Structure 1
Amino acid sequence: MDGTFYGVGVGPGDPELLTLKAVRIIQECDVVALAVSDKAFQEPVYDREGASQELCGYLQRCVAYQIVLPVIPELAGKKKLFLPMPMIKEKEKLRQIHDACADAAEQIIRQGKNVAFITLGDPAIYSTCLYVHKRLAAKGIRTCLIPGIPSFCAAAARMNVGLAENREELHIIPASYGVEESLGLNGTKVLMKAGAKMPDVKQAVAARKMEIHMVENCGMPGEQIYERAEDIPDDAGYYSLMIIKE
């Protein structure tokens, strides 16, 4: 009998925001899948015996893994599937990589093992685990998404502001693809992973004289909060999230 693929959201950074269900699924799974964004890492690796020095380096840099480890110390001893998820935009190359990741997960699941792909925030929102989830589901493999607290909900709570009230609209926008047009939308705009385009985003927001709240590394070490566009550094990190109101 085949196993199950779980896409498990581990929340935005604070281990206390892990859900009880996420903890249970991770504890019970046979294999934990982890995304590796290093462009030099090209092929999936199934580590059954204990990570090599190179793979240990990936574990140390994997934010989702480091969130879970203090809550589930036995995670360190679980079998792990390292999946390449490079931050590139070549569609054909990405398709090939995602196909290979799904194939590697399928081989394990067909052996009757359950695989939990742990991912930041919620697996349904801009998550790399969806690339694997969709391919496996298309092959008839049982898949299940375990929701996690989204980063923008945690950021709003951290800054003590609401996201939307009454009939106000809420727009979730991937900031790395440009935001000029999106800033014209009515209601609250959430710009996710804004770090790479920060100078452009700051300029666009300042030109429109909009109210801004930003958290960098919400719930993680090095967390920073900004309430004015001019105070935000141009080199803000990848995990920078903005909440913008009219």
Structure 2
Amino acid sequence: MSHPIYFVSLGPGDAELITLKSLHALQQADIIYCPSTVREPDKILSRAATLLHKLDIKGDIHLFSLPMSKDRTKAIKVYRQLFEKMRLEQKAGKRLAVAVEGDAGIYASVHYVLDLLEENGIPVEQLPGIPSFIAAEAAAKLHLISQKERLVIIPGNITSDELDMYLSHHHVPVIMKLSQCADIVQDYMESHPQYSYHYFENISTAEEYHSSHQAELKRRVFPYFSLMIIFNEQIRKDNSSK
């Protein structure tokens, strides 16, 4: 029997935030593939694998290492190798899953493997998860979107002019991968103190941090797992009075 390959979204980092459907898919899997990074020659990190251990998942966990580079050539090579392994394992009758943090459809490059599998007629299912910015607004008790506002998700490349445009036209920017544009964002905070800046790092983990104090944020070093949500409170007040 041919089983579908599940692309399981683990959520932002708290094992209790995974959906029941994703948990059941992981519990039934024979092999679960998890992305990892090599930070030091002998230190391999995988937040996804750590979450699986917390969930007491019994299947075999196989790590695949992703190079941390804007050049995606090496990453694509890793994904093609992963596709070949999964194709053979699935053909042999194994139940397979790929586990990724956040949501598998939001800035998840592993989706390239899902596309390859579908192109080759292999059944797949993508299971949704809670993205980090949703967990962040809940942790800070924020009203993320109000009335006519629009949400804009930005992947770490933004200009001051773009922020001006968004914040003056009823948009709420959520900047992901904040470390990639730290200087631009911190300079913008300096020149636009009238806005509300909510900063988060390592959301839903033991290292979770949230601050809206601009003086502190202007000198903070933003790690990879960080994001910021910016509000134009004056527009919100004007809208609420109409």
Same fold (TM over 0.5): yes
Separation in 2, partners of 1:181, 1:201:
11
User: Which stretch of structure 1 is more off in the superposition, 88-97 or 140-149?
Assistant: 88-97
Letter in 1 for 2:78: I
Give the SS at the match of 1:38.
strand
Q: Secondary structure at the match of 2:160?
A: coil
Counterpart position of 1:158: 139
The 2-side partners of 1:37 and 1:128 are apart by 14
Q: Does 1:17 align with 2:17?
A: yes
Q: Which 5+ residue runs of structure 2 have no aligned equivalent? A: 233-242
Q: Note closer, same or farther for the CA distance 1:92–1:113 as it changes in structure 2 (3 Å cut).
A: same
Q: Aligned partners of 1:110 and 1:221: how far apart in 2?
A: 40
Moved beyond 6 Å, runs of 4+? none
The alpha-carbon deviation at position 179 of structure 1 amounts to: 4.1
- Secondary structure (helix, strand or coil) at the match of 1:37 reads strand
Letter in 2 for 1:63: R
Within 1, Cα distance between the matches of 2:176 and 2:80?
A: 26
Q: Tell me, yes or no, if structure 1 residue 70 matches structure 2 residue 54.
A: yes
Aligned-residue offset at 1:178 = 3.6
Per-residue deviation at 1:33?
A: 0.5
Choose which of 174, 185, 188 in structure 1 pairs with 2:172.
188
Q: Structure 1 unaligned segments of length 5 or more: list them.
A: 42-53
Q: Tell me the TM-score normalized by structure 1.
A: 0.83
181-190 or 91-100: bigger deviation: 91-100
How many residues are treated as equivalent by the alignment? 226
Pick closer, same or farther for the CA change 1:159–1:78 going to 2, 3 Å: same
CA distance in 1, matches of 2:105, 2:159: 21
Is residue 191–residue 243 contact of structure 1 (8 Å, CA) maintained in 2? yes
Match of 1:50? none
Conservation of the 8 A alpha-carbon contact between 1:8 and 1:146:
yes
The match for 1:203 among 187, 193, 197 is 187
Per-residue deviation, residues 1-39 of structure 1 (Å, max 9, x unmatched)? 433221111111111111111111100111110112238
Deviation of residue 134 (structure 1)? 1.1
Contact 1:189 1:243 in 2 (8 A): yes
CA distance in 2, matches of 1:162, 1:146: 26
Counterpart residue type for residue 180 of structure 1: S
Cross-structure match for 1:216: 201
Trace 1:1-246 onto structure 2 (pairs within 5 A).
Answer: 1-38=1-38, 58=44, 61-71=45-55, 73=56, 75=57, 77-175=58-156, 177-183=157-163, 184-185=165-166, 186=169, 187-209=171-193, 210-232=195-217, 233-246=219-232
Q: Judge which range, 180-189 or 4-13, deviates more.
A: 180-189
**What's the % identity of the aligned pairs?**
27
| Cα distance in 2 between the residues matched to 1:129 and 1:245 | 31
Matched residues in 2 for 1:190 and 1:168: separation? Answer: 13
Distance 2:40 2:121 in 1: 31
Describe the SS at the equivalent of 1:214: strand
Deviation at residue 40 of structure 1 after TM alignment? 8.8
Structure 2 distance, partners of 1:133, 1:156, is 29
- Pick the structure with greater CA Rg: 2
The aligned amino acid for 2:14 is D
TM-score (norm 2): 0.85
